[in-house]
Amino acid sequence: MDNKKMEIIEAIKKYHTIIIHRHVNPDPDALGSQLGLKKLLKHSCPSKEVYAVGEEVDKLLFIGDMDVISDNKYKDALVIVCDTANISRISDSRYDHGDMLIKIDHHPEYEQFGDISWVDPSYSSASEMLVDLFLEFPEGFIMNKEAAKSFYAGILSDTGNFTNGNTTPRTLNMVSHLRTYNIQPERIHNSLNVKAKNASRLQKDILMSFKVTDKGVAYFIITDELLNMYGVDRLEASNLVNTLSSVGTIKSGLSSSNTLLKSVSGYVHGIFPSHRSPVNSMVEDIHWLQALPSIPGRRLIMLSKHWIKSAHNRAFMT
């Protein structure tokens, strides 16, 4: 039995008030892990006070909404931060006002924080970590349909609908378990993948105008001007990140890839699937694209340079 998992379970059992945070600009895994955890704990331990805090994203409200809580709730509380590699990206700065802090994350360790830190990049998503955690402790923790839906949304999104290389047999086992709660995968998929009219038009522009480097990397730069022109916001644009993933004829061998660059909101996913290393030093300038070694199948969308810069300033990639 993994010690960290045991320590986390003990802490959850011990505290009456549990406040769950995740990263700013939340994606479906940030919200899915945060809200899945909240729903599972509320279902399993109804006497506990469990809260999820942070900004809300209209498009992802189907996963659940946030709690607005006063500062004094943090007194003697356990705070759990999901899916967040570094402190500056935690949504709601009160994360350190509790009595104990736990980090649960699947990104490569960038900044250690928390009294307990469970970081394991072998998981596809923070949602998968939590499903795995509670499956190991069935005596105190019970999944329900609502929690399963949240976790499913997180896993679906972070695995690119189970097409990325981070989809392991364990991932599918977790999903298989979640499916027994009568969730409706098609509804979750549709909710995650619905695109507004303007985003669809931008996507068409990407497909018509993407460029390819001499290393065989397909990319497209979305500038702020382009966003304004199409009337698309950053979150909507971030959902287009897989647009070039089906471009298979740029160079032979491209079809085997699962790599992509997701730079909106400071994310870069899976550029180096074998190392999973942070690429912070590489995003200073657009020219790094030219310097990338030729890895069969790499494709990416680059989004506004401004975001790449801010990702660099945060000096970490997820």
Interacting residues toward Mn ion by CB under 5 A: 29, 83, 125, 158
Q: Between residues 125 and 304, which has the closer beta carbon with respect to Mn ion?
A: 125
**Residue with the CB atom nearest Mn ion in the bound state:** 29
> 303 forms bridges with which residues in the sheet?
222
Q: How far is the CB of 27 from Mn ion (least distance, A)?
A: 7
Q: How far is the CB of 126 from Mn ion (least distance, A)?
A: 5
Q: Between residues 146 and 158, which has the closer beta carbon with respect to Mn ion?
A: 158
Here the tokens at position 201 are 């038009």
Q: How far is the CB of 270 from Mn ion (least distance, A)?
A: 12
Q: Between residues 87 and 247, which has the closer beta carbon with respect to Mn ion?
A: 87
Q: Between residues 29 and 251, which has the closer beta carbon with respect to Mn ion?
A: 29
Sorted by sequence, the CB contacts under 8 Å of residue 155 that are 6+ apart come out as 29, 32, 124, 125, 127, 128, 131, 171, 174, 175, 178
Q: Between residues 245 and 265, which has the closer beta carbon with respect to Mn ion?
A: 265
Here the tokens at position 49 are 């006070």
d(CA 272, CA 116): 28
Token pair 């970490």 in the structure block, residue: 316
Q: How many residues does the chain have?
A: 318
Q: How far is the CB of 117 from Mn ion (least distance, A)?
A: 16
Contact 314, 287 (CB under 8 A): no
Here the tokens at position 47 are 């006497």
Sorted by sequence, the CB contacts under 8 Å of residue 290 that are 6+ apart come out as 213, 214, 215
Contact 18, 77 (CB under 8 A): yes
Q: How far is the CB of 124 from Mn ion (least distance, A)?
A: 8
Q: Between residues 26 and 216, which has the closer beta carbon with respect to Mn ion?
A: 26
Contact 40, 24 (CB under 8 A): no
Q: How far is the CB of 83 from Mn ion (least distance, A)?
A: 4
Q: Between residues 17 and 125, which has the closer beta carbon with respect to Mn ion?
A: 125
| Enclosing H/E stretch for 103 | strand 100-105
Q: How far is the CB of 244 from Mn ion (least distance, A)?
A: 21
Contact 242, 258 (CB under 8 A): no
Alpha carbon 164 to its chain centroid, in Å, reads: 13
